[in-house]
């Protein structure tokens, strides 16, 4: 018996369709049960029809599943959907955003290779490079994200990979992805972009010239704070190596989380658009509050890279950071006065979150390292969700009024 999905027949003909159509349909195969939604294959292994069939599948002579560390139909649908949305030849899902970064470096770099990382990346990304990858002989240097000359000057003959987050967290700095890709390629290196803050709904780094894109799917791809996961996408040449590492080392995605993320992707663009629009309105409002010293949001005309943001993103994202007049106490007062917004460091949720980076995400840095990263004690980060904008303003106004 040949199952429909074994034969690889996709559910819909998606040639030439738009982003939202891909977001709800790409990668879906229908099993003989005829289900309309994506089937959840909660299985770790697969039954072979005969011993010869098992041998042929293990040898890769016939397509089909062998074991869920290698392939799982629900995970594969998620991977194909992400590949379609990012414009990638191939994507592979991982257990978390951090294991996506680990897989990129472990599969594409060796001891003795040099990696350039932008200074303003997620804290655990720096820990991964500093505490672990350096122990295996990977050389790492950090470069100010926006400064293209600094990137050029930081190259060494053994530079293999550039890794950036754009926009960065929490200060919304950007890099010109096309220009940085040209710099990398002229020197024989690859450019990897953490596209967590924009998602493919707002920015498609591969189309701008990057070689690899990765996500913490835990954030906007899920969109509802339910599960951990990640994904790496790019050209087959590099993805073959990334897939090989993941299948061997094992930090692959649970089919249940893949199924959750497929539901999240269906509303991705609508959420990103709505949350970005609220974030822009909130940033404009914050800029006018007398108790606010400075607002960091690339959608503001006052942002130094506003024009670049307009060029490479279709909206500005949902994370707004601002400095309250005063020090740490002022920031804590604003945070503690909230009654709707959740005090949590996660982001990418439909529920708005608020955090104090200096004592949470950047709390382990020395005061000097924090100063270098531009994280001041009065900085507050808000990841805007889907609540009514007036309610969010009222929640922040309460704390600001008390300063």
Ligand X SMILES: Cc1ncc(COP(=O)(O)O)c(C=O)c1O
Sites of contact with ligand X (CB under 6 A): 96-98, 122, 124, 165, 169, 194, 196, 216, 218, 228, 230
Residue closer to ligand X by CB (options 194, 377) is 194
Contact (Cβ atoms closer than 8 angstroms) between residue 377 and residue 358: yes
Write down the least CB distance from residue 346 to ligand X, Å.
7
Say which residue the tokens 């950007």 belong to.
174
- Length of the chain counted residue by residue: 403
Checking DSSP bridges between strand 353-355 and strand 379-383, what pairing results, if any?
A: antiparallel
Residue closer to ligand X by CB (options 203, 291) is 203
Write down the least CB distance from residue 110 to ligand X, Å.
23
Contact (Cβ atoms closer than 8 angstroms) between residue 213 and residue 86: yes
Burial class (CB in 10 A: 0-12, 13-18, 19+), 281: middle
Residue closer to ligand X by CB (options 25, 356) is 356
Write down the least CB distance from residue 49 to ligand X, Å.
38
CA distance to 25, 37, 142, 217, 221, per residue, from 263 (Å): 11, 9, 37, 12, 9
Distance CA 135, CA 148 (A): 28
Write down the least CB distance from residue 218 to ligand X, Å.
4
Write down the least CB distance from residue 301 to ligand X, Å.
25
Write down the least CB distance from residue 98 to ligand X, Å.
4
Say which residue the tokens 């397509």 belong to.
63
Residue closer to ligand X by CB (options 102, 400) is 102
Give me the residue whose beta carbon is nearest to ligand X. 97
Residue closer to ligand X by CB (options 86, 165) is 165
Residue closer to ligand X by CB (options 98, 309) is 98
Question: Smallest Cα–Cα separation from 337: which of 403, 396, 379?
Answer: 396
Question: Smallest Cα–Cα separation from 77: which of 124, 144, 121, 23?
Answer: 23
Say which residue the tokens 């799917």 belong to.
217
């Amino acid at each position: 018996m040949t199952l429909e999905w074994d034969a690889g027949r996709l559910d819909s003909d998606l040639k030439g369709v738009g982003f939202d159509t891909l977001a709800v349909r790409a990668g879906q195969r229908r099993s003989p049960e005829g289900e309309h939604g994506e089937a959840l294959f909660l299985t770790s292994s697969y039954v072979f029809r005969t011993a010869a069939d098992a041998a042929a599948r293990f040898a890769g002579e016939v397509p089909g599943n062998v074991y869920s560390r290698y392939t799982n139909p629900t995970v594969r649908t998620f991977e194909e959907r992400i590949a379609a949305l990012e414009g990638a030849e191939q994507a592979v899902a991982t257990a978390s955003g951090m294991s996506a970064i680990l897989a990129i470096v472990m599969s594409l770099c060796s001891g003795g290779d040099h990696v350039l990382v932008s200074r303003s990346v997620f804290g655990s990304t720096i820990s991964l490079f500093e505490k672990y990858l350096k122990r295996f002989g990977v050389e790492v240097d950090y470069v100010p994200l926006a400064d293209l000359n600094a990137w050029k000057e930081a190259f060494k003959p053994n530079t293999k990979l550039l890794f950036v987050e754009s926009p960065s967290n929490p200060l919304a700095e950007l890099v010109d992805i096309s220009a940085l890709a040209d710099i990398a390629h002229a020197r024989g290196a690859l450019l990897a972009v953490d596209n967590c803050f924009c998602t493919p709904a707002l920015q498609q780094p591969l189309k701008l010239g990057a070689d690899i894109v990765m996500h913490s799917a835990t954030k906007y791809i899920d969109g509802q704070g339910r599960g951990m996961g990640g994904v790496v996408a790019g050209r087959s040449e590099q993805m073959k190596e990334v897939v090989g590492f993941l299948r061997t080392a094992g930090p692959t995605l649970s089919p249940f989380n893949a199924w959750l993320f497929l539901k999240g992707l269906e509303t991705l663009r609508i959420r990103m658009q709505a949350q970005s629009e609220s974030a822009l309105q909130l940033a404009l409002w914050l800029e006018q509050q007398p108790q606010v010293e400075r607002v960091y949001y690339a959608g503001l005309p006052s942002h130094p890279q506003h024009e670049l943001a307009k060029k490479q993103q279709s909206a500005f994202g949902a994370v707004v950071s601002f400095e309250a007049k005063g020090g740490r106490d002022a920031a804590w007062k604003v945070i503690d006065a909230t009654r709707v917004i959740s005090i949590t460091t996660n982001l990418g949720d439909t529920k708005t979150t608020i955090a104090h980076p200096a004592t949470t995400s950047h709390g382990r840095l020395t005061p000097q390292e924090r100063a270098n990263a531009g994280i001041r004690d009065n900085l507050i980060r808000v990841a805007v969700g889907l609540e009514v904008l007036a309610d969010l303003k009222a929640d922040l106004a309460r704390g600001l009024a008390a300063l």
